Amino acid sequence: MPSLGADMRAAILMRWRVKPGDRVKRGDIIAEVETDKGLIEIEVFENGVVDQILAEPGKKLPVGTVLATIRGEGEPAPVIVTPPAVAPALEPVSEAKPPVRAAPMPHVRASPLARKSAQELGVDLSKVTGTGAGGVIEQADVLQAAAMTKEEKPLAPAEKFRRAVAAAMSRSNREIPHYYLATEIDMTRSLGWLTDQNAKRSLKDRLLVAVLLIKAVARALADVPELNGYWIDDQLQKKDAVHAGFAIALRQIGLIAPAIHDAHLKTLDELMAAIHDLIPRARSGRLRSSELTDATITITNLGDLGIETLFGVIYPPQVALVGFGKVANRPWAERGTIVVRPVLTATLSADHRATDGLRGAQFLEALNDRLQTPEKL
């Protein structure tokens, strides 16, 4: 069966024009075949005598099938009319399906760059919170996580940490629309109460102002819960538990703010214990990653450094940062006269996508209220 076209695979032999014994010469029509395009006459290219008819009419035969043999002049052996059978084109074998894995591994969605960074910095992606669209982990998230360390691993070099912090802070400034509120809090009652408490305690059990502030913040958040949570995927995820990020100064590096878990539930003593535990571990690079990723709000107290007012940059994906300056004696108007009171400037840096000034102000008012009734903290 000859090939008559690139897309001809087979044809139906319809009729023989010759029979065995017939003499044929080159160019004679030997048979008719039915193709997709119609009936076509096929010719013979040799001179000779038809020897054997090998195919019967009516069958569809692929190109290359031997249809008949022709004996050349004076030749004993038959001359094949058609070329040797061409191997039929192999149908493509479909790929075997790979075996289904017994336990599918959880897929962490992270950008290619984040994955590369994670690999370079030794960060476990499954423990990173992503802030990209749909919770995808982006590089900044990895850098932030890398700025922290895991239990067994040593502290990441200071340079890497600093860079990670720089990246996180730039990103925060770029991405989060901050608004700022400040209020002055009369600390007379709180300090007075604290003095009384500490008088009954040993030196090592002393309560610091810081724990009053932390507890007050945690309690005030009950009134304005929108300040406690994460902004992810264009929406606010409020958290019930208050894990207060507590900013600790590390020499040469800057501030780190590990979380005090469940600050709203801890007693003042428990908060003190938490601080005593955190600070040395922070300074020696032995914080747990959960402490560094779980904070739902951050509290920065720079009063020790003599700062009066602090306007902080929010740590994404948190939506608020509460800043406290130093307690200083200041003139205070009361009942028409000027008195001197110990005053603390408290600031709120908040994400305008999650809250507005009204809620922020309500929070600061609630905070103030709490610090006026320290015995209830």
Partner 1 sequence: MTTTTYREAVREAIRQALRNDARVFLMGEDVGHYGGCFAVTKGLLDEFGPERIRDTPLSESAFVGAGIGAALNGMRPIVEIMTVNFSLLALDQIINNAATLLHMSGGQFNVPLVIRMATGGGKQLAAQHSHSLEGWYGHIPGIKVLTPATIEDARWMLATALADPDPVLIFENQTLYNMEGVLDPKVTFVDIDHARVHRAGDHISIITYGVGLWKSLDAAEKLAAEGIEADVIDLRALRPLDNETFLGSLAKTHRALIVDEGWRSGGISAEISARIMEIGFYDLDMPVQRVCGAEVPMPYAKHLELAALPQPETIAAAARKMVRKNG
Partner 2 sequence: MSTDGRDFLYQMLRIRRFEEKCVELYSAEKIRGFLHLYIGEEAVAVGSISCLAPDDAIVATYREHGQALVRGVSASAIMAEMYGKLEGCARGRGGSMHFFDAQKRLYGGNAIVGGGLPLSLGLALADKMQSRQRVTCCVFGDGAVAEGEFHESMNLASLWKLPVLFLCENNLYAMGTALQFEHSVTELVKKADAYNVAAAAVDGMDVFAVKAATQKALDYIRAGGGPYFLECRTYRFRAHSMFDAELYRSKAEVQEWKKRDPIATLSARLKGEGAITGADIEQMERKVADEVSEAVNFAEAGPWEPVEDLTRFVYSERTPS
Range in contact with partner 1 (rule: CB under 8 A) among 25-33, 110-118, 121-129, 254-262? 110-118
Q: Which of 332, 331, 326 is nearest to 346 (CA)?
A: 326
- The interface region with partner 1, picked from 62-70, 100-108, 173-181, 333-341 by CB under 8 A, is 173-181
Residues 231-260 that bind partner 1 (CB under 8 A): 234
Residue closer to partner 1, measured from CB, 153 or 352: 352
Which region among 98-106, 108-116, 302-310, 325-333 touches partner 1 (by CB under 8 A)? 108-116
Query: Looking only at residues 56 through 115 of this chain, which bind partner 2 when binding is defined by CB under 8 A?
Result: 63-64, 82-83, 86
Please count the other Cβ atoms lying within 10 Å of the Cβ belonging to residue 86. Answer: 13
Smallest gap from residue 95 Cβ to partner 2 (A): 24
Query: What is the DSSP annotation of 128-155?
Result: PPP-SGGG-B-HHHHHHHHHS--SSSPP
Contact 44, 30 (CB under 8 A): yes
Distance of closest approach, residue 172 Cβ to partner 1, in angstroms: 11
Selected binder of partner 2 within 10, 12, 28, 35 (CB under 8 A): 35
Toward partner 1, which CB reaches closer, 216 or 354? 354
User: How near is the Cβ of 337 to partner 1 at its closest, in Å?
Assistant: 48
- Nearer to partner 1 (CB atom), residue 301 or residue 349: 349
Pick one of partner 2, partner 1, none as the site partner of residue 166 (Cβ within 5 to 8 A by kind).
none
Q: Figure out which of the listed residues 136, 158, 241, 307 binds partner 1, where binding follows CB under 8 A.
A: 136
Centroid of chain to Cα 326: 39
115 binds, among partner 2, partner 1, none (CB under 5 to 8 A by kind): partner 1
What residue type is assigned to position 346 of the chain? A
Cis omega before residue 317 (within 30°)?
yes
* Contact between 5 and partner 2 per CB under 8 A: yes
**8 A C-beta contact, residue 260 and residue 243:** yes
Residue 43 found at the interface with partner 2 (CB under 8 A): yes
State residue 346 phi and psi, 5-degree precision: -105, 135
Considering only 69, 82, 139, 228, the residue that binds partner 1 (CB under 8 A) is: 139
Q: Which is nearer to partner 1, 11 or 143 (CB)?
A: 143
Q: In what order do the strands lie in the sheet with 337-351?
A: 178-186, 337-351, 320-334, 297-301, 244-246, 259-260
Whether the Cβ atoms of residue 252 and residue 158 lie closer than 8 Å to each other:
yes
For residue 50 the two structure tokens come to 């038809």
What does 35 interact with, of partner 1, partner 2, none (CB < 5 to 8 A by kind)?
partner 2
39 binds, among partner 1, partner 2, none (CB under 5 to 8 A by kind): partner 2
User: Which residues neighbour 130 within 8 Å (Cβ) at sequence distance 6 or greater?
Assistant: 109, 110, 114, 136, 137, 138, 141
* DSSP state string for 59-87: -EEETT---EEEEPTT-SSEEESSPSPPP
Compare residues 26 and 60 and give the one whose CB is closer to partner 2. 26
353 binds partner 1 (CB under 8 A): yes
Start-to-end CA span in the chain (Å)? 99
Residue ranges in contact with partner 1 by CB under 8 A: 111-116, 131-133, 136, 138-139, 173-175, 234, 353
